[in-house]
Amino acid sequence: MVKIYLDIKEMGNALDNMGTLSEKIVNNVTVDLLGNVKRESPVDHGRLQGSWTKFDDGPNQKTIKSSANYAQYVNDGTGLYGPHKTLIKPTTKKALKFTPNKGKFKGMTIFTPYSRGIKPRKFVEKSMEKTTNRIPELVIQSINQVKLG
């Protein structure tokens, strides 16, 4: 048999500060997620990794956004690997033109009639999973911050 004893006197401060506690929890989860998404972002030149910012939308509402306009494409994939599952083809020219910045064709100008696209990296989902696994720890941390603070 398991017995659980609750000392209401010990919980009093946390119960009195429920609004503060929920704010702490949301903030701690957001900070953890921001750190994870920065660590999990693929690094080519570092712009994507450094582009993540936390916004306060209210006491219990936070948003994490990237200023890199290509973040969704890197996360979700493009072409055959993306949501549309089709080749990438030129719309106004006969060929696509690009210059890779890594690999055996680095620095060379490439012309091709189509591209398969890029595979999804799913770094946002990986970050969310890591943070979700830490929620119990983050809640305890938040309770201790309210209790001691």
**131 against 11, higher pLDDT:** 131
Strand partners, 111: 97
Tell whether the model's pLDDT for residue 105 goes beyond 80. yes
63 phi/psi in degrees, rounded to 5: -130, 140
Please give the pLDDT value at position 19: 73
Ramachandran quadrant class, 80 (left: phi over 0; alpha: psi -120 to 50; beta: rest): alpha
Which single residue is written with the structure tokens 């429920």? 18
For residues 47-60, average pLDDT: 90
Please give the pLDDT value at position 2: 46
pTM of the model as a whole: 0.80
For residues 74-85, average pLDDT: 96
